[in-house]
Structure 1
């Protein structure tokens, strides 16, 4: 009986395949929608003003914490929450967050598919049963 030899890829080949996959992902509909939504966010004066106000208040909190003036922090946190709520009601922000979630979902699906395929390959190559996620065991 001739032993079955598997095609082995070296480190550079794997990285090249990963770069190709990254290129496919970068050219996906999800990434295109994300980039369009990001451009809209960046071009919207109201959104940018709200983001700047939130950041300014966050910096103020850090300064207050550093100077141990904690009594002013809760009021600033409430102001930040109100600004964040206002930001979250803007349709292009909703669109941006949705596109971000879709892109993250795509990346998680790809990562999961790779992890599952590698695990399955290890299980099968050790004589195990992929249906039960059990690797084979050497007797003796």
Structure 2
């Protein structure tokens, strides 16, 4: 029980350290901007609507209308992907992911070492 509490406390401390890390804070701020950006929200809705139309046109056997809907989807998606907030979001997401991967790999390495040492000591006894 005490070991579980130590682990939980360590996880909470790690979580707080990560939350305070500049790359994570920057990512969270850009994420907020992206979620509130009216043009991005409008583009998301336009893309969803065009996707629905493409599916309906395909279902009703209207290949030309379907192709036009797909072209519209592609154009809207390109505009979305080129938006400065989206580009910043993706860059900050990559940085945050790199940090989290580093932390995860470090924890995994330390846990594996502890297991190996525990196994080594157990076999010596």
TM range (shorter): 0.7 to 0.9
Which residue among 99, 102, 105 is the counterpart of 1:109?
102
5+ long unaligned stretches in structure 1? 1-8, 129-135
User: For the structure 1 residues 28 and 59, does the alpha-carbon distance in structure 2 shift closer, same or farther, using more than 3 Å as the test?
Assistant: farther
**Comparing 32-41 with 68-77, which one deviates more in the overlay?**
68-77
Corresponding position of 2:78:
85
Stretches of 4+ aligned residues off by more than 6 angstroms: none
CA distance in 2, matches of 1:61, 1:31: 38
User: For the structure 1 residues 81 and 119, does the alpha-carbon distance in structure 2 shift closer, same or farther, using more than 3 Å as the test?
Assistant: same
Corresponding position of 2:22:
29
TM-score, normalising length: structure 1: 0.70
Corresponding position of 2:114:
121
How do 1:33-48 and structure 2 match up within 5 A?
A: 33-48=26-41
TM-score, normalising length: structure 2: 0.77
Greater helix content: 2
5+ long unaligned stretches in structure 2? none
- Whichever of the two has the greater Rg, that structure is 1
> Secondary structure of the residue that 1:127 maps to in structure 2?
helix
Q: Number of residue pairs matched?
A: 122
CA distance in 1, matches of 2:114, 2:67: 54
